[in-house]
Structure 1
Amino acid sequence: MKALGTVLDHHRGVAAYYCLRWWPASLVFALLALAMPAIAGEGGRDTLRMGGDASYPPYQFIDQSGRADGFDVALARAVAGDIGLQPRFELGQWDTALERLSRGELDIVPMFWSAERERRFLFTQPILIRHHALFGRRGQAKLESLDALAKLPGVRVAVQRAGLAAEAMHALAGHGIALLELDTESGALVAVARGEADYALAPTGIGYYAIHQHDLDDVIALSPPLLERKYVFAVQRGRSDLVARIDSSLERLRASGVQNDLYVEWIGNLDPRRPRPWLLYAAGLAALLLLGPAGYAWRRQSRAGSIAAVNDANDPALMADLRDAIEAGRLGFMLQPQIDLRSGRWRGAELLVRWNHPQRGPIEPDAFVPMAEQAHVAAAMNLHLLRCGLAQRRHWPPSEPPLHLSVNVSANDLADVRLVDAIIDAAGQDGAALMLEITETDVMREPELVAAALPRLRAHDIRISVDDFGAGHSSLLNLRRLAPDELKIDRSFVATLLTSHSDQAIVTATIGLAHELGATVAAEGIEDEATQRWLADAGCDAGQGFGIARPMTADEFVALLRSTPA
């Protein structure tokens, strides 16, 4: 067999040489990817063997037909196809999978990073950033940290055996905590529902999935996100070559949007047995949905010259200055007026952050906002600006309907219960005057927590707008989850609207979709009257851009309102 393998390798190499010499590379790689599994056979060196937990939905599980399925399985299958390997899935007991990986009987196992596990395995770059939470029954006291468990006499905590939650709870040993170790994380939540445990420590995604699947209506999350960890593919020590190949593949799958699509399909859909969302999409929206992150990135690059933004993301001194400016409240803002395209009356304004550095002068938001996100201070920055904007709004002349102030927040920020509380507190009795523009700069890491925040915000009349719709990570799944009051069409579609038939089709479809969902539509980046008329004729409700009014100071906006009453 070894000699036969050598001969096959030789002929495969010769074939590849001549194919690459005369055929398009993409066709060659596709043919080789199809041929390699047949040549190697199952279990050979051209097979990628993934192990894991047979009961860990929606990440990895065995479905009713006995097949491996879930987000991890789908991603591993995509990785295997990308690097020319045949995927093979061997799911079973979690602790058994770890032992098999150590012995080299498996190639990869998806898991949380931890220092203890890093001593046993090699890790790829992160697939996701995930959190745990303490789940309990309604009416129980909320807990802000794991350490708070040590203050509860005789508390019982259920966890999955050999999981990250078990590791974290073992670190609290000796504090009077009774640990109930079970085979599955969903079983830990069931134990809480049955009264066999007081709390369950489990990943938030798994917890919400178990609540949905097992109808655990009395079980809820009683803590903020805990144990933030990287979720990775673990590889046996000594296989650094495989880590490098998988890392390269993950980068390609992210750039192409494949990984994002898999996340939206599996993590955003609590019931994987439902029909896949894209089978239900209207044909008229196909072009819009195909413009995912990769397509949008290309559009942004094509007009990168229009914004002079310095690349200081790795400048530690500037990062420190930004932190200081946020903490001291030294960031400023401008207001971008928004008009009703039918009546011509002012509808409100969007708040735009500004930073005038004491030494470097004005710095473009495209330069420092990503820095704030990288330093995890964007939420604090947006909250400060929201408070400043609402204070200024009290000086606006009265109007009917009331003028609104739009403030940008990240979708992931709304997973923070304390931030949502602060937004509600800042809005006070003026909730109807506030529109939160949710920017989907990243895949929603905790969509269930974001969804839980929305009814609380709406109970105070605070409205939701999806900013840059059609770009970033916008999807129909997120529309269903967010149920926005407004969709804002990204300026990249508006800029070439008069000359691009495809952009006209996308904008028309978006307007129709929004109105069917009961939402209004606003267009960004309107530069001329002709574009404004086209949008009004197409049914677009509102617009903003230099062709309507440039960003201005708070005092200038008040003067504008007084000179042209809304």
Structure 2
Amino acid sequence: MALTLALTIAVPAAADTATSSAEASRDSLRFGGDANYAPYHFIDANGRADGFDVELARGIAADLGLDPVFELGEWEAALERLARGEIDVVPMFWSAERERRYGLSEPILLRHHALFGHYETPTVAALEGLANVRVAVQHAGLAWETMQELARPGVTLVEIDNESETLEMVARGEVDYALAPTGIGYHAIQQSGLRGIVALSPPLLERKYVFAARPGQPALVAGINASLERLRRNGEQNRLYIEWLGNPAATGVEPRRRAAPVPAVAPAAPPALAAVAVLAALLVAGIALFAWRRRPRPTAGRATTPRAADAPGTDDALILAELREAIARQELDFALQPKIDLRSSRLLGAELLVRWRHPRLGALEPDDFVPILERARAIGEMTLYLVRHGVAKCRSWPDSARPLHIAINVSANDLADPRLVDAIIEASGEQGHCLMLEITETEVMREPERVAEALPRLRRHGIGISVDDFGAGHSSLVNLRRLAPEELKIDRSFVHALRASRSDRAIVRATIDLGHELGASVAAEGIEDEATRRWLLEAGCDVGQGFVIARPMPPDEFLELLRAQD
């Protein structure tokens, strides 16, 4: 959906109301947009402009020394007014045509579309696969432009003004699919209670999301770019992203209580919050300082060789095909490594570790083949395989040994695929409480909005969330807040040398305290000696895993451990 936000800079008292351009002065910046495009920009129940784009626009206007005026209405009208110079700025998706018509800023976000439909409707891998269907799109939006250019035979476009309404048309059975931005689509499903409506395609139409300025204003575009850069550097843009887009509760539909003006001297934070702030600062500084010695070292072998592109190489393509066949034939094996309560030494569950005995290459470790699936964006196939087998093993454990969980590694980007999330929930059945997903961040989250949408759905089925390898990869306090995990798992690289490293001890202590302040249990992996185990227990760590406790073992041996514990 194209996003329009008319921001007219006029008198400050009029900055939050829909204002005619005639009221704007030379000291105002006029932003135009859609009046119903939450959580990006919209008119709230009190008649005020609000949303991520609105707040970012206010920051830009303040940085430029101008008064913002927001003129939100219909999307198509906003485009026409921008072309006539009646408003100054409108946020929208980039396209080559728009770049010819307007002056475009540097990207604010990268965003995607998807085809939404009823769960029984066939899935579609690409827009080119559509045939003899009805597709709802917003008139004059990016989806409309794309479908016009595609001109698929037998595809009927149903054009309406409001993007959220395209999904409601699907729910009413008036169209087969809605082509809409993912954020708007999931927002509409959640807020309107559109049961049975899901994404039926992978992310489509990846586009830069930009501010478009009225034609012939290069100085205005340069000023917006400079302001955006300052807002990035001072953290304001990131703060707004977390508030509006990184928090699934921040929907923008309910009237929000606006924060009071910040006093010259801010009141002292409550002790618990102050402690979290200090711990967070320590973690950020410590992790950044020691990142150079935590980075992965290149090793021999196909799977760990860095690549310039995501696509698998020629050799990897053969391994990938064989691996997919092994998954289909149920030939992958796995081991279980126990996790214990460090205080009582009682078993809490186990982490499932995949193994593959290759017919030509022999026994392969996960590092030899998992990266191939990740590069091919096919890791979800293995994730689902392991979830199904892990839940089946959990069902075989004696009732007297419960509650226990089986932990399975999942890439953060796996959870951006709603179809995979649906399949995980279905596979867990009534045993969701025994499943813990250890989220690894092997790469930066591509679609944090979709991940945020998945978490409450998983938790409603009892599935727990753990942040794995905290501090070693792309883990960040932003993502920690977004994921709100039940467990925080300290990376083994910090645990391994903590007795010999004062800095590692400080980071581990801070991680334990931060996890507890946020309501999560804290686990340490890679515990290899009794002295380290005792130190972690005294430091308040909750859960332990490592060779000093138990090495990975076949599922039958783990079952014997459970029986012996009973």
Whether TM exceeds 0.5 here: the answer is yes
Shift of 1:508: 3.5
1:131 and 2:110 matched = no
In structure 2, C-alpha distance between the alignment counterparts of 1:305 and 1:337, rounded to whole Å:
28
Match of 2:76 among 95, 108, 113: 95
* Structure 1 pair 424–476 and aligned structure 2 pair: CA distance change class (3 A): closer
Residue 19 of structure 1 aligns with which residue?
none
Shift of 1:450: 0.8
In structure 2, C-alpha distance between the alignment counterparts of 1:195 and 1:142, rounded to whole Å:
11
1:263 and 2:250 matched = no
Shift of 1:299: 1.0
Matches within 5 A, 1:439-450: 439=440, 441-442=444-445, 444-447=448-451, 449-450=453-454
Residue 177 of structure 1 aligns with which residue?
156
Residue 184 of structure 2 aligns with which residue?
206
SS of residue paired to 1:132: strand
Structure 2 residues not aligned, in runs of 5+: 1-23, 263-268, 299-303, 327-331
Residue 272 of structure 2 aligns with which residue?
284
Cα deviations by residue, 1:513-545 (Å, 9 ceiling, x for unpaired) = 53xxxx654234557656644554566431235
Cα deviations by residue, 1:87-118 (Å, 9 ceiling, x for unpaired) = 73543332233334445665543222345434
**Contact map agreement 1:351 1:389 (CA 8 A) in 2:** yes
Cα deviations by residue, 1:243-265 (Å, 9 ceiling, x for unpaired) = 67766766775676544432231
SS of residue paired to 2:143: helix
* Structure 1 pair 556–477 and aligned structure 2 pair: CA distance change class (3 A): closer
Matches within 5 A, 1:513-528: 513-514=518-519, 520-524=521-525, 526=527
Residue 167 of structure 1 aligns with which residue?
145
1:454 and 2:434 matched = no
Q: Which amino acid aligns with 2:240?
A: L
Give the RMSD, CA atoms, in angstroms. 5.4
* Structure 1 pair 388–315 and aligned structure 2 pair: CA distance change class (3 A): farther
**Contact map agreement 2:409 2:439 (CA 8 A) in 1:** yes
Cα deviations by residue, 1:117-164 (Å, 9 ceiling, x for unpaired) = 34434463361323334356xxx8424236787435xx5x54332112
* Structure 1 pair 102–538 and aligned structure 2 pair: CA distance change class (3 A): same
Residue 113 of structure 1 aligns with which residue?
94
Q: Which amino acid aligns with 1:59?
A: Y
1:465 and 2:466 matched = yes
In structure 1, C-alpha distance between the alignment counterparts of 2:60 and 2:334, rounded to whole Å:
44
1:61 and 2:65 matched = no
In structure 1, C-alpha distance between the alignment counterparts of 2:388 and 2:233, rounded to whole Å:
37
Q: Give the % identical residues.
A: 45
* Structure 1 pair 418–191 and aligned structure 2 pair: CA distance change class (3 A): closer
Shift of 1:408: 1.6
1:510 and 2:498 matched = no
In structure 2, C-alpha distance between the alignment counterparts of 1:220 and 1:334, rounded to whole Å:
37
Q: Which amino acid aligns with 2:454?
A: V
In structure 1, C-alpha distance between the alignment counterparts of 2:234 and 2:459, rounded to whole Å:
34
In structure 2, C-alpha distance between the alignment counterparts of 1:544 and 1:172, rounded to whole Å:
56
* Structure 1 pair 335–262 and aligned structure 2 pair: CA distance change class (3 A): farther
SS of residue paired to 1:445: helix
Q: Which amino acid aligns with 2:138?
A: Q
**Contact map agreement 1:108 1:233 (CA 8 A) in 2:** no
In structure 2, C-alpha distance between the alignment counterparts of 1:370 and 1:43, rounded to whole Å:
56
Structure 1 residues not aligned, in runs of 5+: 1-40
Q: Which amino acid aligns with 1:450?
A: A
1:420 and 2:421 matched = yes
Residue 232 of structure 1 aligns with which residue?
209
Match of 1:74 among 55, 58, 73: 55
TM-score, structure 2 as length reference: 0.66
* Structure 1 pair 306–132 and aligned structure 2 pair: CA distance change class (3 A): closer
**Contact map agreement 2:526 2:547 (CA 8 A) in 1:** yes
Shift of 1:341: 0.6
SS of residue paired to 2:183: helix
* Structure 1 pair 54–333 and aligned structure 2 pair: CA distance change class (3 A): same
In structure 1, C-alpha distance between the alignment counterparts of 2:29 and 2:371, rounded to whole Å:
36
**Contact map agreement 1:265 1:277 (CA 8 A) in 2:** no
Matches within 5 A, 1:16-27: none
Q: How many residues align?
A: 499
* Structure 1 pair 379–478 and aligned structure 2 pair: CA distance change class (3 A): same
Match of 2:293 among 305, 325, 334: 305
Shift of 1:302: 1.7
Q: Which amino acid aligns with 1:97?
A: A
* Structure 1 pair 161–56 and aligned structure 2 pair: CA distance change class (3 A): same
Shift of 1:75: 2.9
Residue 342 of structure 2 aligns with which residue?
341
In structure 2, C-alpha distance between the alignment counterparts of 1:256 and 1:493, rounded to whole Å:
30
Q: Bigger shift: 305-314 or 55-64?
A: 305-314
1:142 and 2:143 matched = no
Shift of 1:304: 2.4
* Structure 1 pair 229–104 and aligned structure 2 pair: CA distance change class (3 A): farther
SS of residue paired to 1:328: helix
In structure 1, C-alpha distance between the alignment counterparts of 2:354 and 2:274, rounded to whole Å:
34
Q: Which amino acid aligns with 2:210?
A: F
In structure 1, C-alpha distance between the alignment counterparts of 2:282 and 2:30, rounded to whole Å:
29
Q: Which amino acid aligns with 1:74?
A: E
Q: Which amino acid aligns with 2:515?
A: T
Cα deviations by residue, 1:349-396 (Å, 9 ceiling, x for unpaired) = 43567999999xx9996x998886565344345456667878999999
SS of residue paired to 2:449: coil
Q: Which amino acid aligns with 2:94?
A: W
SS of residue paired to 2:401: coil
* Structure 1 pair 538–235 and aligned structure 2 pair: CA distance change class (3 A): same
Shift of 1:340: 2.1
Shift of 1:434: 4.1
Cα deviations by residue, 1:252-293 (Å, 9 ceiling, x for unpaired) = 7567654443223112312463458999x9751455467779
Q: Which amino acid aligns with 1:305?
A: R
Residue 20 of structure 2 aligns with which residue?
none
**Contact map agreement 1:469 1:490 (CA 8 A) in 2:** yes
Q: Which amino acid aligns with 1:229?
A: E
* Structure 1 pair 541–181 and aligned structure 2 pair: CA distance change class (3 A): same
Q: Which amino acid aligns with 2:524?
A: A
Q: Which amino acid aligns with 1:177?
A: T
Shift of 1:167: 2.7
* Structure 1 pair 402–99 and aligned structure 2 pair: CA distance change class (3 A): same
**Contact map agreement 1:420 1:457 (CA 8 A) in 2:** no
**Contact map agreement 1:338 1:348 (CA 8 A) in 2:** yes
Shift of 1:233: 0.6
Q: Bigger shift: 192-201 or 389-398?
A: 389-398
In structure 1, C-alpha distance between the alignment counterparts of 2:490 and 2:483, rounded to whole Å:
15
**Contact map agreement 2:527 2:546 (CA 8 A) in 1:** yes
In structure 2, C-alpha distance between the alignment counterparts of 1:189 and 1:102, rounded to whole Å:
29
SS of residue paired to 1:304: helix
**Contact map agreement 1:193 1:216 (CA 8 A) in 2:** no
1:543 and 2:538 matched = no
